[in-house]
Amino acid sequence: MLTGDLIRGRVQRGKLRLSAIDPADNDVQSLADRLIMLFGTVPGTRRDDVLTSINLAAEGPVNPIVGRGLAHLLWQRCELSPPPGPNAAKLRSEVFRAAARARASGIEPFPREKILADAGVSLGIDAATVERALFSDLPGEEIVLSFEPITSELLIRNYNLALVQGALLRSTRVVLTLGRPRPDAVRAILRAARFHRLLVAPRKPSPGRLELEVDGPANLLEETVKHGMQLACFAPWALCQPKFHFAADLLWGPDRSPCRLEISHQDALDCPQPSAIPGPSREVQAFAALAGKEEPDWVVNVDAEPIETDDGYWVPDLHLTRMSDQRTVCMDIITRGRPQTVAAHLKRLAKHAQVPWLVAANRILLTEGVPEAEDRTLPFRAMPLPSEVFAMATSLLDKSSRP
């Protein structure tokens, strides 16, 4: 995604209007082709040398910010490594200490060459190599090892998507409205939200419409960067829908002024299609693997289907099935968010869910009391313990079977 200084947009009457680029613009296509060709020749080159070449290749009629933005996306396709040689920090410390001792002794003239040569003796290198290695850990000294090729068409589409993703890092709330979504599209987008650890509140404001609301990173107190990255990764799933309206409340600019970003299918951003969801999140996979070893009397299914509720949908993270009677408890594992949002999620499940359920959440997210969900909520520090989870699941099933 793009950093704040690379996002082209202006605020008018409280609305942020992003300046996407037209894939049919010949000047932009030519610039993209030049940059891609340049990056194809950079393996083995210093970062600073590549930056100089980029500035030359980006000269032309296209806005310089666009050139820097395209180059930024191409840098993300590069593998970089520090140059070979001695540890720069350790070598610098040794040389500077020797220089300080020589300066304190008052030796004239200052023995610069001797200090560098002495530092290189134990490493088997000469004074000139020592001097070059002193600051070899600076970013500009990194060497480009490889570059993953890309077409100019896809690069431009990625740029327009990165504009939206960069803006979302400053959002407080995001609302996605889908018009008459197909069941498979609902399943895919809700599973994508859970995979990216987003606590989504799906609602049906009217027949044929589905509304998804999620907190933005600027509304959280902890893990804001991680949450922002996950929200940005989820954005392609929203922007590829055939009929959608995407609204984000933002705190924009140095003074964090409130404004609103609105995008719909009519804007024709032409963003790239998202990649397939590989499976559940790492936290869910880790719990399922641990539970499978410790509790053989239960089967943990991570491929949970969306459940239709009175007011919308719910995609649980896990299905816990007791082998003795084949009864199932649906479970969520919540690791980040706002306490208010988690409380609203618990209240919604208590009111609308028609299946046995429980929620394991990080204890710092359970500061808002929800009495109606107290016997279905399990706080944890790092990961929920399978023994506690299955004890609560057993209690829920036993209660529901009583007359």
User: Rounded CA gap, 328 and 310, in Å?
Assistant: 20
The two beta strands, 318-322 and 171-179, are: unpaired
Report the phi/psi class of residue 365: left, alpha or beta, with left for phi > 0 and alpha for psi in -120 to 50: alpha
Question: Could you report the per-residue pLDDT of 76-90, keeping only the tens digit for each?
Answer: 999 998 888 888 888
Collect the ranges in the chain with pLDDT lower than 70.
278-279, 401-403
Tell the residue number behind the tokens 């600019």, with chain if given. Answer: 253
User: Rounded CA gap, 58 and 77, in Å?
Assistant: 18
Alpha carbon 244 to chain centroid distance?
Answer: 22
Answer yes or no: are the C-beta atoms of 15 and 260 closer than 8 Å.
yes
Tell me what pLDDT residue 278 has.
Answer: 61
User: Rounded CA gap, 342 and 200, in Å?
Assistant: 10
Tell me what pLDDT residue 69 has.
Answer: 93
Counting every residue written for the chain, the total comes to 403
Question: Could you report the per-residue pLDDT of 243-288, keeping only the tens digit for each?
Answer: 889 999 999 888 889 999 999 888 877 778 787 776 677 888 888 8
User: Rounded CA gap, 141 and 82, in Å?
Assistant: 7
Smallest CA-to-CA distance from 288 within 315, 318, 314 is with 318
